[in-house]
Amino acid sequence: MSSDLDRKMVFLSGPRQAGKTTLAKQIAGQSNRYPGAQVLNWDVPQDRSIIFNRSWSPSAGLVVFDELHKMKGWKPWLKGVFDGRPSHQTYMVTGSARLDAFRQAGESLAGRYFSWRLHPVSVEEWLVSEGGTPAEALHRILERGGFPEPLLADSARDAQRWRRLYLEGLVREDVLEFSRIHEVRAMRLFVDMLRSRVGSPVSLASISRDLQVSPATLAKYLEILEALYVVFTVRPFHRNIARALLKEPKVYFYDVGMVDEKLGDGGARFENACAAMLLRQVHQVQDEQGRDLQLQYIRDKEGREIDFVVSENDAPLLVAEAKLTENSISNLLASVADRFQDAKTWLVVRHLRNKEQRGSISIEPAADWLAELSAKF
């Protein structure tokens, strides 16, 4: 990221309270590289005045604009700032919403920035930071979610209290930026319904009948929730798989702790954790290397599924089925492994005593697999 700042602006986006500001301050704190760096938060009145007046220090090596997307007309404003900057000065823009839409910002910012996305903590990152075993790391993330504050909280109860306030604040503050106030209640009900549907293809038509809201309105709500980094969708992989015809996406949460705990044996939360960490790695590769990776799933007309397929240019690179305890290989997984022999295929199991290799399919404990996820791309 620092090397990108030497050439262009950097846009850092991701879920609210995932650590973007902390990371930006760490980068700004590299005084040898960015002497006199300043961090300006749009939500702080004094900082907002400095932004309006462009009165930050002209000698600053780096200026961080936090939550700048809340400023009306920020795009042409930022273009003017960047194009007229001193040669020694660079900029970082951080935000918890709509930074993904900066990719569609039009010609005004074209060629002036690199985009990075920050995700909640993964098993791999926890081990680097806190140590312990992969199984311990996965257990804690499944219990607390991957956001720094609840993950590091003294108790699971404190983590749950954080989550309730987080969701209330998200709906009350961020959602209102994108929708009308009378829609907030419907949006909250929609989120609650999605929490109970993790791991299953989501039919907006079905939910619309329950909520008495049109499918088109729900599609808009889903788009808002994606823009706010509350949820992400995983869509079907289609390339020449005869029966992979289902078009409904699966919806997962960036915060694993949002998954409804009443969903049986914890399988949905476990699947969501695998999805979130896979997406984190996909985004990391996209942002750092520019590769065209996609996270998808397979489901045929008989309802048989493979949970995750990471593809590049429509060719599978990684195929993974996630299970709690069962280590039997499905016919569909075996068929896909045989058809796409260049792809690495795994069955990852939450509770597994021993690793196995059955033909081209590796069977691994999920915690160990997630702990080495970056090496699998």
Q: Map tokens 């493979």 to a residue.
A: 306
Q: Mean pLDDT, the chain, as a whole number?
A: 90
Look at 142-151, 253-262, 288-297, 368-377 and tell me which has the smallest mean pLDDT. 253-262
Place of tokens 């509350």: 230
Distance of CA 176 to CAs 195, 205, 218, 232, Å? 20, 24, 16, 19
| Per-residue pLDDT tens over the stretch 249-283 | 999 999 999 998 776 678 999 999 999 999 999 99
The CATH number given to 2-117 is 3.40.50.300
AA letter at 194: L
The rounded distance, in Å, linking the Cα atoms of 163 and 253 is 13
What confidence score (pLDDT) does residue 168 get? 79
Q: Is the pLDDT of residue 103 over 60?
A: no
| CA separation for the pair 237, 164 (Å, rounded) | 35
Continuous H helices in the chain:
2-5, 20-28, 45-53, 74-83, 123-130, 134-144, 148-151, 156-169, 184-195, 204-211, 215-227, 267-289, 331-339, 366-371
- Name residue 98's beta-bridge partners: none
Place 176 in a pLDDT band, splitting at 50, 70 and 90: low
Among candidate residues 208, 227, 203, the one with its CA nearest the CA of residue 218 = 208
Given this model, what pLDDT does residue 60 score?
96
**Please, are residues 242 and 276 in contact by the beta-carbon 8 Å criterion?**
no
Cβ–Cβ < 8 Å for 230, 170: yes
313-345 per-position pLDDT tens digit: 989 999 999 999 988 999 999 999 999 999 999
pLDDT at 173 over 80: no
Structure confidence at residue 246 (pLDDT): 47
Domain ranges for the chain, please list them.
2-117, 123-376
Tokens of 156: 């699971």
